[in-house]
């Protein structure tokens, strides 16, 4: 600790740094024009040191934890500190470098100068509704190269001398389907990184740059101390897990995936050496995403409620060769990368659940359930497009049943679309919206239930659906004798009574008037032998309609 | 005689105003849980008041919030549209605790087995697609009886657009089960979003049996004492309800207690011409802040109970005064966490054992202890000398923190006060800066036991020029309640284009709502001559989800639009060229009361204020010889310079170096912090 910084001032400055991070986060939601930002909170904001160490980060979704480090690093690597000037803002969405996860996630990085020196960086990464490409919304299940996935911003200056580069904006405007939203987000992101810059300067004016730097170092030290404490409380050893990804959306071949996790006194090592090579379809994930998965799980098993910074990630070591399905190289498509990022997260989870049961449940439905449904509004005949994630069942826990009807582990402060608003805005009728009581996830403690959400197409001109549901073929894993969960699937009840599907992934599938699109997510995995479940609980589930009498009898041995 | 009572966890406060004599009095008595009515009667008896002379009685109660947070309500059922029984449990499916992979939602107040479905369906325009199946309702009624259900909520899709099925279903239920408590969601709110509306109806049902028996008992007791009429209960929106309405819609009482202070601050602002106010209420366990703009108290319908950074909470879609609350009060405990960082709260020493200085077995260092170590609080004058506190115990409690950081006990205590201040500053920023307001345009009104101790330094940090410590600081919430008026809000959703056609429909809707509001208040027994109506429209840009609330006194399209653009820019930092839409309509009806006349409380004249003592007080920079004044000794208008301390039985006011303080015409302490700008 610096001799001239008393511990209380240090604490006030540390709190101020965290508050700046929060203010940036709120400002972004407040200034964005895109529902995916202000409703789904699909973005992250934060501050790093001049060495790209995360000081504070606000996330709306878990999958973005720690990603800003890599964005800032890529900026420093390209320009060097000496190549950056006051008033610069750099923009990147390069999935393979530090910039992005898929092209839709656009990151802005600003060097914060105080008296001629870079004292910090502020960064903001947000999901743009549109960056162009072959499919509306810029993601699809059938792209085979990144060139189909919209504009790429390869770590370039977007602002110089506090002024946006007009030619860049003109370029974006003609290349995306919703230019007002995308350019609106461009400005909203710039506003949030600048707000942080302004606050940092105020902080330095008040306490002096040296005091602020000392407080930053203390904040990172706090994180490191906490990380060591967390590591000490974890079981040591090597733990492995295997699983299978359904397919890449192009062929039907299942894709085997593996992890080896080693916890020592000093390190938390995740080894993905046995991951398969990148694939033809857009499920490839980048090294940035894999790092997020690792950080997310580390936080989950150590102290999920912590305000984190780079110091807390010091013990982490990631081993992954280049060019795998989770470290894809150019020009692999990555537009639905999240389905595979979820697997890297889920594999570490699966390896550790039996040994860290107080922090981890059994496997959950493990998909964002992202769907794009288009149709026409019966009132006014205008085209409507609905982009939404879907809810499913979470795994049972060592001491209680799993949670029903939640978004997946990569999401977070993600909200469902109310039925009343959906029907008004999109011209569909919600036919059904309830828990899915199908078999799956039985155990001493059972998995939570997935959700069925069904839409009836009302317009004469019909519509289309693009959807990607992971764990369609290989449901959520159980622990300690608990059964597997239920499969995720989509089916179309045709107006003539026939049923198309079930599918796991489909792109731009046509829908006719009267068709009912049913998105069905499965239960999470069970924990413990179903025979050990108390009779009262089985009877209560049957009474509540959360379990059939047949399952009660056949799996739990309880006559109702 | 007007009378207001505010029930807290420890004390029941009473404030009364005898209009004939002009006497304004306060008294306190111990709260008497679970039979809180007794505490109220005790205060009336203690103050030696003639109950028969009471013409207006206002009561702030925690009965609803307690029943909710303690989950001690009725066995409740829910009836929903077929296919949607799980809306209540799915909720919004969000996980604020985003890295917790053992996340559990807060459970629905109605378990699945008591969530029933009936065949019926409306579309979003409110048109009937499938009529209500009466046989389904009859069958459910029989099951409710068999299951011993005490209260039931009815919440159907799109009832905000057309309540016909909810009303009919409730009617049928009443016919089958005459003694059942029945709530229709559309009776509480006509805003869209099915989960939020259903949950609101469910929580109303859940608390209805306990709340109505509480209100009935209180009514009986007051009538027995001789109070004949004018019985009111504080609502969360800052107005009041009759006892009868409170029994039907108890959910409106959810924040019945805390809003009193905000209303009081507004009333004081009205009297002294301060229209822009930030309130800061520092109690034992929390600090609460709220913003009043241009004399208008802000309220929100985005209110939740049990929401925190890790839990989604339960939404209640009734208007609630917009208050931000943080865990930093006098009893909040300072501690060093695992990584060696200093933190305050949210743990509180509460009333028992209380701060270390109470000598009741608490040995944790609290904010109150810090103020005692710094000699800002006078140990011989705590609660006016009624309570003994021991500064040595406070010093002892601060020793571990001092040793850990290798500083003096005073420096440790000052550090904790600074950190508590920083937390309160952040809370004020949440209601101001984060919502597009500049704190410099506001005066800070501070009250509660600890408000006056911290206010001046908070104001300085935020560049607020003027601080007001109102008279009756310690019973300020009850005083605020005395100044409230009966008020009811009516809200409806209907999305309409922002053009003349749309506006014509808005005009019809607002006219209809005014009629509904007037009928409602007339039925509650209020005189029509005193009604006033305040309409608002929630507007948005086409394609956007969030709305901005626009005052709609004048239904002029150009004016509404320009107000909307301005307010949108203030709240969201940008304006668009896009067309606008009307979304929600809100009418607030108020029954005006004669204003409380405070002109009689003019402070004495003079210019001879003298310190009653000098004492060493610790500020940044060390001990300073500081003048100590007694508040009641201070004459009108005479300026005294900081650093000084102004003592009164219920609190102390800290005035820092470079500031000036004086007493204004109605007995408030005013502090000029010297950092303000021209407003």
pLDDT digits (tens, 9 = 90+) for A45-85: 999 999 999 999 888 888 888 789 999 999 999 999 999 99
pLDDT beyond 90 at B149: yes
DSSP SS3 for B584 = strand
Nearest Cα of chain A lies from the Cα of B160 at a distance, in angstroms, of 10
Identify the H or E element spanning B467: strand B466-469
- B96·A33 Cβ contact <8 A: no
Who has greater pLDDT, A201 or B347?
Answer: A201
Quick: pLDDT tens for A316-338: 999 999 999 999 999 999 999 99
Contact residues, B window 86-125, toward A, CB-based 8 Å cutoff = 86-87, 89-105, 111-113, 123-124
How high is the pLDDT of residue A61? 85
- Arithmetic mean of pLDDT, B467-492: 89
The pair of three-digit structure tokens given for residue A10, joined into one six-digit string: 């240090």
How high is the pLDDT of residue A2? 45
Quick: pLDDT tens for B276-329: 999 999 988 889 999 999 999 988 888 999 998 899 999 999 999 999 988 888
Check: CB of residue B35 under 8 Å from CB of residue B64.
Answer: no
How high is the pLDDT of residue A315? 96
Residues of chain A found within 8 Å of residue B579, distances taken between Cβ atoms: none
**How is A136-184 classified by DSSP, letter by letter?**
TTS--S---SGGGS-----SEEEEETTEE-HHHHHHHHHHSS-HHHHHH
Comparing CB atoms, the residue among A35, A296, A418 nearest residue B195 is: A418
pLDDT beyond 80 at B151: yes
pLDDT beyond 50 at B66: yes
Residues of chain A found within 8 Å of residue B338, distances taken between Cβ atoms: 225-226, 229
Quick: pLDDT tens for A272-329: 999 999 999 999 999 989 999 999 999 999 988 887 899 999 999 999 999 999 999 9
The pair of three-digit structure tokens given for residue B288, joined into one six-digit string: 């609460």
- B90·A394 Cβ contact <8 A: no
Per the DSSP assignment, residues forming a β-bridge with B617 are B624
| Secondary structure, 3-state, A397-438 | CCCCCCCCCECCCCCECCCCCCHHHHHHHHCEEEEEEEEECC
Residues of chain B found within 8 Å of residue A11, distances taken between Cβ atoms: 341-342, 415, 419
- A38·B546 Cβ contact <8 A: yes
Comparing CB atoms, the residue among B87, B92, B112 nearest residue A544 is: B112
Quick: pLDDT tens for A121-138: 999 999 998 899 998 889
The pair of three-digit structure tokens given for residue A444, joined into one six-digit string: 């001493």
Nearest CA-CA partner of A526 in A557, A472, A487, A480: A480
**pTM of the predicted model, to two decimals?**
0.92
Nearest chain B residue to A542 by CA distance is B113
- B411·A8 Cβ contact <8 A: yes
Give whichever of A335-349, B258-272, B330-344 has the largest mean pLDDT: A335-349
b/e burial code for range A452-471 (CB count within 10 A of at least 16 → b) = bbbbbbbbeebbbbbbbbbb
pLDDT beyond 90 at B339: no
Nearest CA-CA partner of A253 in A289, A287, A277, A285: A277
Pairing label, strands A89-92, A156-160: antiparallel
Q: Is A384 on the interface with B (CB under 8 A)?
A: no
Computed over its alpha carbons, how large is the radius of gyration of chain B? 26
DSSP assignment letter at A313: G
pLDDT beyond 80 at A354: yes
Comparing CB atoms, the residue among A8, A400, A405 nearest residue B90 is: A405
- Arithmetic mean of pLDDT, A498-527: 96
How high is the pLDDT of residue A1? 42
How high is the pLDDT of residue B678? 64
- A62·B111 Cβ contact <8 A: no
Q: Percent of chain B at pLDDT above 70?
A: 99
How high is the pLDDT of residue B472? 80
Q: Percent of chain A at pLDDT above 90?
A: 81
Check: CB of residue B449 under 8 Å from CB of residue B483.
Answer: no
Average pLDDT of chain B, as a whole number = 92
Per the DSSP assignment, residues forming a β-bridge with B661 are B640, B671
- B340·A407 Cβ contact <8 A: no
How high is the pLDDT of residue A5? 82
pLDDT beyond 90 at B615: yes
- Arithmetic mean of pLDDT, B422-443: 90
Q: Phi, psi at residue A114, to the nearest 5°?
A: -135, 120
Quick: pLDDT tens for A222-271: 999 999 999 999 999 999 999 999 999 999 999 999 999 999 999 999 99
pLDDT beyond 80 at B9: no
Q: Is B304 on the interface with A (CB under 8 A)?
A: no
Residues of chain A found within 8 Å of residue B341, distances taken between Cβ atoms: 11, 14, 222
Residues of chain B found within 8 Å of residue A538, distances taken between Cβ atoms: none
Q: Is A11 on the interface with B (CB under 8 A)?
A: yes
How high is the pLDDT of residue B384? 83
- Arithmetic mean of pLDDT, A411-434: 93
Torsion B219-B225-B230-B234 (CA) sign: negative
- B572·A31 Cβ contact <8 A: yes
Nearest Cα of chain A lies from the Cα of B194 at a distance, in angstroms, of 7
Residues of chain A found within 8 Å of residue B94, distances taken between Cβ atoms: 407, 412-416
Contact residues, A window 431-450, toward B, CB-based 8 Å cutoff = 431-435
Around Cβ A540, how many Cβ atoms within 10 Å? 15
Check: CB of residue B425 under 8 Å from CB of residue B386.
Answer: no
How high is the pLDDT of residue A99? 66
Who has greater pLDDT, B156 or A12?
Answer: B156
pLDDT beyond 90 at B91: yes
Quick: pLDDT tens for B568-608: 888 777 788 889 999 999 999 999 988 777 766 678 888 88
Mutation target to probe the B interface, by most B beta carbons within 10 A, among A396, A420, A437 is: A420
Q: What is the ipTM of this complex?
A: 0.95
Distance of CA B95 to the CA centre of its chain: 26
Write down the domain spans for chain A.
7-226, 361-560
- Arithmetic mean of pLDDT, A149-156: 95
How high is the pLDDT of residue A474? 98
How high is the pLDDT of residue B448? 87
- B192·A406 Cβ contact <8 A: no
- B90·A38 Cβ contact <8 A: no
CATH topology of domain A7-226: Beta-Lactamase (3.30.450)
Nearest Cα of chain A lies from the Cα of B572 at a distance, in angstroms, of 5
Mutation target to probe the B interface, by most B beta carbons within 10 A, among A380, A404, A433 is: A433
pLDDT beyond 50 at A3: no
Around Cβ B509, how many Cβ atoms within 10 Å? 18
Quick: pLDDT tens for B192-239: 999 999 999 999 999 999 999 999 999 999 999 999 888 999 999 999
Residues of chain B found within 8 Å of residue A12, distances taken between Cβ atoms: 418-419, 422
How high is the pLDDT of residue B435? 81
Contact residues, B window 432-451, toward A, CB-based 8 Å cutoff = 433-434
Q: How does residue A441 score in pLDDT terms, banded at 50, 70 and 90?
A: very high
Q: How does residue A513 score in pLDDT terms, banded at 50, 70 and 90?
A: very high
- Arithmetic mean of pLDDT, B601-620: 88
Contact residues, B window 527-546, toward A, CB-based 8 Å cutoff = 544-546
- B342·A546 Cβ contact <8 A: no
Contact residues, A window 55-114, toward B, CB-based 8 Å cutoff = 59, 61-62, 65
Who has greater pLDDT, B41 or A88?
Answer: A88
Residues of chain A found within 8 Å of residue B102, distances taken between Cβ atoms: 358-361, 397
Per the DSSP assignment, residues forming a β-bridge with A435 are A451
Nearest Cα of chain B lies from the Cα of A330 at a distance, in angstroms, of 30
- B92·A304 Cβ contact <8 A: no
Residues of chain B found within 8 Å of residue A8, distances taken between Cβ atoms: 342, 405, 411, 414-416, 418-419
DSSP SS3 for B595 = coil
Question: Between chain A and chain B, how many beta carbons pairs sit less than 8 Å apart?
Answer: 190
pLDDT beyond 70 at A524: yes
Residues of chain B found within 8 Å of residue A415, distances taken between Cβ atoms: 92-94
Contact residues, B window 319-358, toward A, CB-based 8 Å cutoff = 338-342
- Please give the Cα distance from A56 to A46 (Å, whole number): 5
- Arithmetic mean of pLDDT, B349-369: 90
Quick: pLDDT tens for A525-550: 999 999 999 999 999 999 999 999 99
- Arithmetic mean of pLDDT, B469-488: 88
Contact residues, B window 160-179, toward A, CB-based 8 Å cutoff = 160
- Arithmetic mean of pLDDT, B404-430: 94
Q: Which domains does chain B have, with CATH numbers?
A: 2-68+212-253 (3.30.420.40), 71-210 (3.40.1360), 490-579 (no CATH)
Nearest chain A residue to B82 by CA distance is A432
Nearest Cα of chain B lies from the Cα of A435 at a distance, in angstroms, of 6
Nearest Cα of chain B lies from the Cα of A410 at a distance, in angstroms, of 8
């Amino acid at each position: 600790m610096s001799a001239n910084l008393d511990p209380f001032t240090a604490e006030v400055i540390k709190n101020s740094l965290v508050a700046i991070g929060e203010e940036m986060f709120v400002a972004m939601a407040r200034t964005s024009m895109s529902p995916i930002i202000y409703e789904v909170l699909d973005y992250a904001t934060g501050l790093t040191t001049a060495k790209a160490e995360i000081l504070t980060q606000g996330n709306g979704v878990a999958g973005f934890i720690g990603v800003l480090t890599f964005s800032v690093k890529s900026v420093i690597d390209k320009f060097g500190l000496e190549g950056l000037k006051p008033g610069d803002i750099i923009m990147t969405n390069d999935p393979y470098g530090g910039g992005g996860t898929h092209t839709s996630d656009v990151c802005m990085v600003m060097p914060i100068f105080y008296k001629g020196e870079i004292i910090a960086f502020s960064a903001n990464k947000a999901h743009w509704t549109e960056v162009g490409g072959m499919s509306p919304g810029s993601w699809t299940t059938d792209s085979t190269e990144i060139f189909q996935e919209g504009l790429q911003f390869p770590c370039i200056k977007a602002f110089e001398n506090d002024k946006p580069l007009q030619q860049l904006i003109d370029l974006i405007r003609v290349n995306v389907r919703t230019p007002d939203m995308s350019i609106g987000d461009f400005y909203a992101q710039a506003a949030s990184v600048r707000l942080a810059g302004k606050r940092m300067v105020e902080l330095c004016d008040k306490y002096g740059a040296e005091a602020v730097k000392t407080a930053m170092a203390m904040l990172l030290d706090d994180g490191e101390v906490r990380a060591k404490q967390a590591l000490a409380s974890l079981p040591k050893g090597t733990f492995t897990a295997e699983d299978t990804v359904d397919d890449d959306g192009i062929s039907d071949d299942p894709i085997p995936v593996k992890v080896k996790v080693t916890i020592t006194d000093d390190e938390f090592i995740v080894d993905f050496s046995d991951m398969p090579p990148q694939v033809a379809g857009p499920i490839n994930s980048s090294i940035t995403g894999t790092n997020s998965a690792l950080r997310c799980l580390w936080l989950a098993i150590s102290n999920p409620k912590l305000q984190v910074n780079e110091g807390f990630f010091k013990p982490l070591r990631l081993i992954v060769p280049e060019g795998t399905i989770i470290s894809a190289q150019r020009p692999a498509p990555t537009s639905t990368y999240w389905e595979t990022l979820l697997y890297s997260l889920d594999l570490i989870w699966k390896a550790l659940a039996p040994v860290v049961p107080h922090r981890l449940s059994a496997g959950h439905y493990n998909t964002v359930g992202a769907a794009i449904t288009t149709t026409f509004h019966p009132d006014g005949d205008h085209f409507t497009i609905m982009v939404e994630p879907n809810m499913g069942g979470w795994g049972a826990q060592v001491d209680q049943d799993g949670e029903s009807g939640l978004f997946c582990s990569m999401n977070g402060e993600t909200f469902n679309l109310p039925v009343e608003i959906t029907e008004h805005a999109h011209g569909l009728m919600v036919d059904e919206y309830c828990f899915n009581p199908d078999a799956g996830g039985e155990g001493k403690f059972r998995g939570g239930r997935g959700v069925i959400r069904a839409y009836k197409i009302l317009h004469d001109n019909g519509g289309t659906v693009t959807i990607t549901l992971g764990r369609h073929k290989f449901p959520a894993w159980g622990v300690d004798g608990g059964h597997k969960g239920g499969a995720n699937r989509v089916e179309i009840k045709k107006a003539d009574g026939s049923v198309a599907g079930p599918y796991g992934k489909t792109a731009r599938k046509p829908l006719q008037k009267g068709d009912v699109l049913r998105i069905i997510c499965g239960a999470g995995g069970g924990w413990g032998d179903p025979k050990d479940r108390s009779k009262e609980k089985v009877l209560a589930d049957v009474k509540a309609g959360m379990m059939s009498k047949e399952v009660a009898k056949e799996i739990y041995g309880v006559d109702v | 005689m007007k009378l207001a009572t505010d029930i807290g966890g420890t004390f029941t406060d009473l404030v009364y105003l005898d209009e004939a004599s002009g006497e304004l009095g306060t008294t306190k008595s111990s709260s008497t849980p679970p039979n809180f009515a007794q505490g109220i009667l005790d205060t009336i008896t203690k103050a030696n008041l003639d109950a028969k002379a009471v013409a207006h009685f206002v009561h702030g109660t925690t009965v609803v919030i307690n029943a909710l947070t303690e989950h001690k309500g009725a066995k409740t059922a829910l009836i929903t549209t077929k296919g949607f029984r799980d809306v209540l449990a799915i909720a919004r499916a969000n996980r604020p605790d985003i890295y917790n992979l053992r996340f559990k939602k807060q459970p629905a107040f109605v378990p699945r087995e008591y969530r029933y479905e009936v065949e019926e369906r409306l579309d979003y325009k409110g048109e009937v697609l499938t009529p209500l199946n009466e046989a389904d309702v009859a069958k459910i009624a029989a099951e409710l009886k068999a299951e011993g259900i005490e209260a039931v909520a009815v919440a159907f899709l799109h009832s905000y657009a057309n309540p016909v099925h909810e009303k009919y279903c409730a009617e049928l239920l009443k016919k089958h089960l005459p003694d059942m408590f029945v709530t229709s969601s559309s009776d509480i709110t006509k805003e869209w979003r099915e989960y939020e509306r259903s949950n609101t109806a469910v929580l109303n049902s859940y608390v209805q049996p306990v709340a109505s028996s509480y209100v009935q008992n209180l009514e009986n007791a007051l009538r027995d004492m001789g109070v004949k009429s004018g019985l009111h209960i504080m609502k969360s929106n800052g107005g009041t309800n009759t006892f009868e309405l409170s029994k039907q819609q108890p959910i409106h009482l959810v924040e019945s207690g805390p809003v009193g202070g905000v209303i009081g601050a507004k009333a004081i602002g009205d009297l002294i011409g301060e229209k822009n106010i930030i309130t800061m209420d520092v109690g034992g366990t929390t600090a609460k802040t709220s913003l009043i703009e241009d004399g208008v108290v802000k309220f929100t319908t985005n209110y939740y109970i049990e929401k925190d950074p890790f839990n989604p909470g339960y939404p209640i879609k009734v208007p609630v005064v917009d208050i931000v609350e943080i865990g930093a009060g006098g009893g909040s405990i300072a501690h060093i966490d695992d990584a060696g960082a200093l933190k305050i709260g949210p743990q509180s020493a509460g009333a028992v054992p209380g701060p270390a200085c109470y000598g009741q077995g608490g040995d944790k260092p609290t904010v109150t202890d810090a103020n005692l170590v710094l000699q800002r609080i006078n140990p011989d004058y705590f609660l006016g000398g009624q309570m003994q506190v021991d500064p040595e115990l406070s010093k002892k409690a601060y020793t571990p923190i001092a040793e850990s950081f290798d500083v003096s006990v005073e420096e440790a205590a000052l550090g904790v006060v600074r950190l508590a201040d920083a937390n309160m500053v952040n809370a004020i920023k949440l209601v101001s800066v984060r919502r597009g307001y500049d704190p410099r345009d506001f005066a800070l009104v501070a009250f509660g036991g600890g408000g006056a101790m911290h206010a001046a330094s908070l104001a300085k940090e935020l560049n607020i020029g003027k601080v007001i410590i109102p008279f009756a600081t310690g019973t300020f919430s009850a005083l605020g309640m005395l100044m409230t008026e009966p008020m009811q809000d009516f809200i409806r959703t209907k999305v309409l284009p922002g053009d003349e056609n749309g506006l014509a429909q808005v005009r019809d809707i607002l006219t209809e709502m005014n009629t509904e509001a007037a009928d409602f208040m007339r039925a509650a027994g209020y005189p029509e001559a005193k009604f006033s109506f305040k309409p608002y429209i929630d507007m948005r840009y086409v394609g956007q989800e969030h709305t901005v609330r626009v005052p709609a006194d004048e239904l002029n399209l150009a004016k509404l639009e320009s107000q909307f653009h301005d307010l949108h820019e203030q709240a969201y930092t940008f304006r668009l060229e896009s067309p606008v839409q009307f979304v929600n309509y809100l009418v607030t009806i108020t029954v005006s009361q004669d204003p409380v006349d405070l002109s009689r409380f003019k402070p004495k004249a003079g210019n001879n204020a003298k310190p009653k003592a000098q004492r060493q007080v610790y500020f940044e920079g060390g001990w300073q010889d500081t003048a100590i004044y007694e508040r009641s000794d201070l004459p009108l208008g005479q300026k005294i310079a900081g650093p000084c301390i102004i003592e009164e039985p219920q609190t102390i006011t800290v005035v820092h170096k470079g500031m000036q303080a004086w007493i204004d015409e109605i007995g408030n302490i005013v502090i000029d912090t010297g950092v303000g700008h021209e407003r």
